[in-house]
Amino acid sequence: MTVSTKLSNVKAMVFDVFGTVVDWRGSLIGDFTRWGDARGIKADWTGLVDAWRGAYVPSMDEVRKHPERGYLPLDRLHRQSLETLVARFGISGLNEDDLTYMTLGWHRLQPWPDSISGLTRLKRKFTIGTLSNGNVALLNNMAKNAGLPWDLILSAELFEHYKPDPETYLGAARLLGLQPGQVMMVAAHNNDLAAAQKHGLKTAFVPRVTEYGPLQSKDFEANGNWDVVAADFDDLAARMGC
């Protein structure tokens, strides 16, 4: 498939991860349900997981509002939110190892069915990397667990700024030694792409309409002027000439 001229300068593709590459909701609900059954812990795991993800944006906003406290990596934010939520959901009897196991659930997320095949095709022609709010250890452990074939791990942690702060998109281009227009941001979230586009990156939207399960309220389709809109990662590879 021929790639349009406007995309012929793209050298690297960086990917949002949670929801775009991996199914955080299905993975965590399945993981905790199996683990809870084995440990004899009954809980509303679905409700907990949805509430945990609900705490994600507010927890990053706190980091943004309080630079004097220093940057906290996502593992730390996840752990803090979890401690509040297990109390709210009335889940008792969890020890330190249990809380660690649950927090590291984000390191064990599973990819969507097309993620690995699409990434493997794209890697032949492009540098492929994460550009996620997950910390480096989380993203690296996830890649090792799930077999994600990244060339390199780029993370909000490297810039001590969470997306959609400009430092993340521009920092990725800088570390890659590229102009922003030589880097394409791939995401299932229109707001991530809007921020990337504002700072000069190329953009690709891939819908993940079951990401939030019955709670999904947006991102059913592209609603910006993105450079590529693809059905899934295999379709993205085809549209990028791979």
Interacting residue ranges for a second copy, rule: CB under 8 A: 75, 127, 135-138, 140-141, 143-144, 150-153, 157-158, 175-178
Q: Which is nearer to a second copy, 151 or 235 (CB)?
A: 151
**Minimum distance between the CB of residue 46 and a second copy, rounded to whole angstroms?**
28
Smallest distance from the beta carbon of 225 to a second copy, in angstroms? 29
Angle (CA) 157-162-164 rounded to 5° is 140
State in angstroms the smallest separation of the CB of 95 from a second copy.
21
Q: Are 188 and 208 in contact (CB under 8 A)?
A: yes
**Type of residue found at 86:** V
- Closest contact distance (angstroms) between CB of 233 and a second copy is 20
Report the amino acid identity of residue 185.
Answer: M
- Note whether 239 and 228 are within 8 A (CB): yes
From the CB of residue 211, how many other CB atoms can be counted at a distance below 10 Å?
21
Q: The tokens of 206 are what?
A: 């891939």
Residue number with CB closer to a second copy (91 or 139)? 139
Tell the smallest beta-carbon distance from residue 177 to a second copy (Å): 3
- The residue (of 46 and 140) whose beta carbon lies closer to a second copy is 140
Question: What is d(CA 119, CA 127) in angstroms, rounded to the nearest whole number?
Answer: 10
CA distances from 30 to 45, 84, 234 (A): 9, 21, 25
Please identify, using beta-carbon distances, which residue of 104 and 229 lies nearer to a second copy.
104
Residue 23 vs 75, nearer CB to a second copy: 75
Distance CA 132, CA 168 (A): 9
